[in-house]
Structure 1
């Protein structure tokens, strides 16, 4: 076997090329540009986030106004009405009168969005429906005693 020592002024391994290696830089630059363009296109195609804009008190319940149609999960839990929806919004609370009796409501942030809880001293039952009004979505929650 031959070693890598000099023999007659020559090496057994070729000398290193003194020119810079541009191919890895070109591939890296193309990857960064492609990633950036993909992120820009993704942000442009992303829909506007669902946002709670306003809450109105009605004689029989509440009306919640959204900029897009909300997906609602609702339950009647131990006499309280609990609605969950994936939306952005500020925590609010208040009270309203149903049949001259006070019911309290509270809107708070949950794990995946907002949680609306309606509670009174007596068991409540709630019905809700959504409708599009003038380009906005209205969620109307109607309450009654059980």
Structure 2
């Protein structure tokens, strides 16, 4: 389970999300109105965006035998992150959105998710080729 590359990517994503949760809840400076996390704090607290995504990553790590379910959960997470990214650029000047650290979170998360997709697809190809040999 942990020796698989995609599991390591998902562990890294879960750690990033849990750190983000801790930083948002413990840092009073993050409630500034010019910060992404401060401006949309209502949405973050109300809908538990980071908590749900972190929980989905942790659940996804333990579904290593069900690759189709893993891919579906990752697709749901990508859609949620795209909506979060759209929310980042909504009602703000474009230059302020590019300076926001929330943008880097979304970019890093999406890159790691696509690397996870690629690794799961490789595993599926290896399994399918071994089934053909039998």
Q: Could you say which TM-score interval applies, normalised by the shorter chain?
A: under 0.3
Of structures 1 and 2, the one scoring higher in RCO (CA 8 A, sep 6+) is: 2
TM-score by length of structure 2 reads 0.21
The structure whose residues are more often helix, as a share, is 2
> Which structure has the bigger radius of gyration?
1
